Amino acid sequence: MVDVTLEPPHVLANTREIKTGVQLEQVTFGYQTPILKNFSWQLHLGETWAIVGASGIGKTTLLYLLAGLRKPQRGQVLYRGEVLEKTPAGVGLMLQDYGLLPWYRVEANVALGLRLRGVGKKERIERSRAWLGKLGIEHLAKRFPLQLSGGQRQRVALARLLVLEPDMMLLDEPLSALDELTRERLQRELFTLTRDTERTTVIVTHHIEEAALLASHVMVIPEKTPIADVTVLRSPFSDRTMPAREDPQFLAFTRQIRDLLGL
Amino acid sequence: MSRRRTLLVVSQILLLVFVWHAVAVRLERPFLPEPLVVFSTFFAELFGEDTATGLLTATSWSDVQVALAKPNGRLLADTWASLQRIGVSLFWGTLLAAPLAIATADNRWLDRLFSPLLYALYPVPKIVFLPVVIFFLGLGDPSIIFLIALIVFFQIFVIVRDSAGQVPPQTLDSLEALGANRWQRLLHVYVPLGIPAVITALKISLGTAIAVLFIAESLGNTDGLGYYINSLQLNRFAYNKVYAGIVAISLLGSTLFGVLSWLERRSSRWQRSSP
C-alpha cells in the first residue's frame, strides 16, 4: 500500500470558526425534466459524505451544483456563507472519466490546476512531483493519459486534485472503473485522505459497500424523481480506522442502506 | 519512418523506375524517354547544364565548388516559385480557417452564423471558381494563391471544427472546475487539439493544392512548374524536359507530404496507447 501523508489544507487553518462548509437551500434544478426540487442539504467541515442511488437519478448533477458548475434555477448554494458563482479555489472536483487532458503528459496534467492559478513553474513542478510520489506514480510522469491503466489514470486525477490542497473534494464514482484489487487498495488510500479532519469530501457512488466503508454520512437517494427527500444515515464508525468488511456492525449498516434503496 | 519501411519505399520506387525503363526501351518512342535520360535532364535543368556536368565530373571538393558557382537552371527557379505559392497559400488558408473553426466550436452563436454555410459549400470543388477568380483578380499570383488558400481553408475548417466539436463536455467541465477562464480553455484544449487537425487537413489538401497550382500556373503564368511543363509541351515538344518537370513536381509534392506526415506524427504522439 502506498503511504499517504496527511497534510491539513492551508486555507482552512484561519477560518475554523465557520462551521458550515456548503449549504443547499431549497434548490430546484433540471434540464428538460426536473432533477432537484426544493432540495436542502447542509455539509459541515470535515465530514465525508457518500451519495448512493440509482444511476441517472441526478447524483452527478448534485456534485456539479456543489462545484458551482451549474446554477440552481431556484434557491441557492452557499459555500462558506457566500453564494456560489463559480468553482471556489478550495474546491476540487474529480469527474467519472477523470477529465484528464489526453494531450498533456501526466506531470503537466497534475500541474494544470496550479498553472491555471498562476503558480510559478518551479513551484508547480515541485508540488506536482511531491504528490506523484505520495501516490506512488512518480515513474509515470512522462506518460500520456492514454498510455495508463484505469487505476493509474485514477491516481493521476487524484494527484491533480490533491496538489491544489482543496478543503473540499468532490468525487464522482472515483473507483468505478477499477478492478477489485486496485479498488480495495485505493479505498484505503481514499479513507486516509478523507479522514483528514479538516477536509470535507463528497463521494458519489453506486457501490453500497464503498459508501459504508468511506463515509461518515451516507445520503440515500430513493428512486423517485425529482430528488426532494433523501435519507441520511450516520456511520456507526466515526474513528480513524476503516471498518472491517466482515464486522457485523458494518454488515448491518450496509443492510440498512440496501433496505432504503429497496434492494 | 522505420528502417524497414524506408527500405520498402526505396525498393518500390526502384521497381517503378525499372518498369519505366523496360517499357521505354521496348517502345523506343520519343514521348517516353528512358529514366536515366530524364534524371540527367532533371539535374541539368535544375542546376544548369554547366553545374550539372561539373558536379558529375567533379573529382575534388574544389571542383564541386567551381561547379556550384555556375548559374542554376530554369527548373530550380520554377520549383522555387511554385513552392512559394504553395507556402503562402497554405499559410493564409490556415491562418483564416483554424481560428474560425475553433471559435465556432467554442461559441454557439458563431457556430450558427458560419458553420451551416461553410459545411454546405465544403463539397463544392473550388477549382470551378477558377474562371471567376481570374475575372476578379486577373491571371497571376493573386488568383493562384487565393484559389489554393480557399481550398485549404475549407478543408482545415471542416477537420478542425469536427475535432474541436468532439471534446467531451466532462473535459471542459473539469477544466472549468480547476479554474480555467475562456482563454485558458482555448489554450489548453482547443489549441492542442487543433494543431494535429490542421496538419492532417494540410496533408489531405496538399494533393488538390498542387493539382490546382499546376493548372493555374499553366494559364498565362511566366514561371512555376505548371508553366515549365506546359510551355515545353505545347511549344517545343521537349519530352525529356517535360518529364524532368514531372519529376520536380512529384518531388515537391512528396517532400511536402513527408514533412507534414512527420509533423502529424509528432503532434499526435499523445494519441498512441503505447509510450
Complex ipTM: 0.80
Nearest CA of chain B to the CA of A234: how many Å? 29
If asked whether residues B192 and B149 sit together in one domain, one would say: yes
pLDDT at B1: 63
If asked whether residues B78 and B121 sit together in one domain, one would say: yes
pLDDT in tens, chain A (263 residues): 344 443 344 334 344 444 568 889 999 999 888 899 888 998 888 889 999 988 888 888 999 999 999 999 999 999 888 888 888 888 999 988 788 999 999 999 999 999 999 999 999 999 999 999 988 899 999 999 999 988 889 889 989 998 998 989 999 988 887 788 888 888 888 888 888 667 899 999 988 999 999 999 999 988 877 888 888 888 888 667 888 888 999 999 999 999 988 88
Do the chains contact at A113 and B171, CB–CB below 8 Å? no
Which of B37, B69, B101 finishes a domain?
A: B69
If asked whether residues B121 and B199 sit together in one domain, one would say: yes
If asked whether residues B43 and B161 sit together in one domain, one would say: no
Q: What are the CA-CA distances from residue B60 to residues B47, B48, B57 (Å)?
A: 18, 20, 9
Nearest CA in chain B to A93: B177
Nearest CA of chain B to the CA of A130: how many Å? 19
Nearest CA of chain A to the CA of B269: how many Å? 8
Helix (H) or strand (E) holding B239, with range, is: helix B239-267
Task: Kindly state whether B274 is in contact with chain A, defined as any CB-CB distance less than 8 angstroms.
Answer: yes
Secondary structure tally for chain B: helices H, strands E: 13, 0
Which tens digit of pLDDT belongs to each residue from A232-249? 888 888 667 888 888 999
Which three cell numbers mark B115? Answer: 458553420
Task: Kindly state whether A177 is in contact with chain B, defined as any CB-CB distance less than 8 angstroms.
Answer: no
Domain with CATH 3.40.50.300 in chain A: 18-90+168-263
pLDDT at B86: 95
Helix B74-106 × helix B239-267 angle, to 10°: 30
Mutate to test the interface with B, among A100, A101, A110 (most CBs of B within 10 A): A101
All residue ranges of chain B with pLDDT < 50 are none
User: How many domains is chain B built from?
Assistant: 2
Task: Kindly state whether B137 is in contact with chain A, defined as any CB-CB distance less than 8 angstroms.
Answer: no
CA A109 to mean position of chain CA atoms: 18
Containing structural domain, residue B216: 74-271
B176, B193, B270: residue with CB nearest A87: B176
If asked whether residues B133 and B38 sit together in one domain, one would say: no
Nearest CA of chain A to the CA of B4: how many Å? 25
Which of B44, B69, B94 finishes a domain?
A: B69
d(CA A170, CA A164): 13
In A31-165, where do the E strands start and end? Answer: 34-44, 48-52, 74-79, 82-83, 91-94
Do the chains contact at B177 and A92, CB–CB below 8 Å? yes
Residues forming a β-bridge with A200: A168
Do the chains contact at B174 and A93, CB–CB below 8 Å? yes
CB contacts of B179 in chain A (<8 Å) are 87, 89, 113, 116-117
pLDDT at B111: 94
If asked whether residues B79 and B62 sit together in one domain, one would say: no
If asked whether residues B240 and B253 sit together in one domain, one would say: yes
Nearest CA in chain A to B183: A116
Which of B34, B69, B104 finishes a domain?
A: B69
A113, A116, A144: residue with CB nearest B270: A144
If asked whether residues B57 and B95 sit together in one domain, one would say: no
pLDDT at A17: 43
Q: What are the CA-CA distances from residue A93 to residues A6, A122, B58, B108 (Å)?
A: 19, 24, 70, 26
pLDDT at A16: 42
* A245, HSE (Cβ side, Cα atoms, 13 Å): 7
Q: Which amino acid is at B49?
A: E
* Phi, psi for residue A232 in degrees, rounded to 5: -115, 125
pLDDT at B175: 93
Do the chains contact at B174 and A89, CB–CB below 8 Å? no
pLDDT at A105: 95
Q: Are A110 and A92 in contact (CB under 8 A)?
A: no
If asked whether residues B185 and B94 sit together in one domain, one would say: yes
Task: Kindly state whether A11 is in contact with chain B, defined as any CB-CB distance less than 8 angstroms.
Answer: no
If asked whether residues B240 and B137 sit together in one domain, one would say: yes
Residues forming a β-bridge with B240: none
Do the chains contact at A93 and B271, CB–CB below 8 Å? no
Q: Are A62 and A204 in contact (CB under 8 A)?
A: yes
The CATH number of residue B188's host domain is 1.10.3720.10
Q: Is B149 exposed, middle or buried (0-12, 13-18, 19+ CB in 10 A)?
A: buried
Which three cell numbers mark A37? Answer: 426540487
If asked whether residues B65 and B105 sit together in one domain, one would say: no
If asked whether residues B203 and B234 sit together in one domain, one would say: yes
Segment 169-188 of chain B within 8 Å of chain A by CB = 170-171, 173-180, 184, 188
Task: Tell which CATH architecture fits domain A18-90+168-263.
Answer: 3-Layer(aba) Sandwich (3.40)
